[in-house]
Amino acid sequence: MMDSPSGRTGRLVLRVVGVVAVVVGVLGALSSAVNGNLVGIVLSAVFIAGGVFALKRSGAPRRAGGSASASAAGQGAH
């Protein structure tokens, strides 16, 4: 099944937002840790979690039959 151009663009935008959120979160956590700011560390963790969620949502559509690695692992037992 072919993706529409808007679907591909949406996934790309979601991936860019996810990467930016993770980078901002890591930099914020490092900066807050140096200053000992607990609120900044928690806020950075929220940014990182949101970025990871966005990156997971931007991935390729999953097959209904399970993951490819699980099916490949079962083929070697023959």
Q: Amino acid identity of 33?
A: A
Q: Amino acid identity of 32?
A: S
Work out the average pLDDT over 1-12.
75
Over residues 43-75, the pLDDT tens digits come to: 999 999 999 999 999 886 666 665 555 555 556
Contact by Cβ (8 Å): 22, 51: yes
Over residues 13-41, the pLDDT tens digits come to: 999 999 999 999 999 999 999 999 999 99
| Surface-to-core class of residue 77, CB atoms within 10 Å of its CB (0-12 exposed, 13-18 middle, 19+ buried) | exposed
pTM, to two decimals: 0.69
Distance CA 77, CA 72 (A): 10
**Predicted local distance difference test score (pLDDT) of residue 19:** 93
Output the six-digit token pair for 57.
């949502």
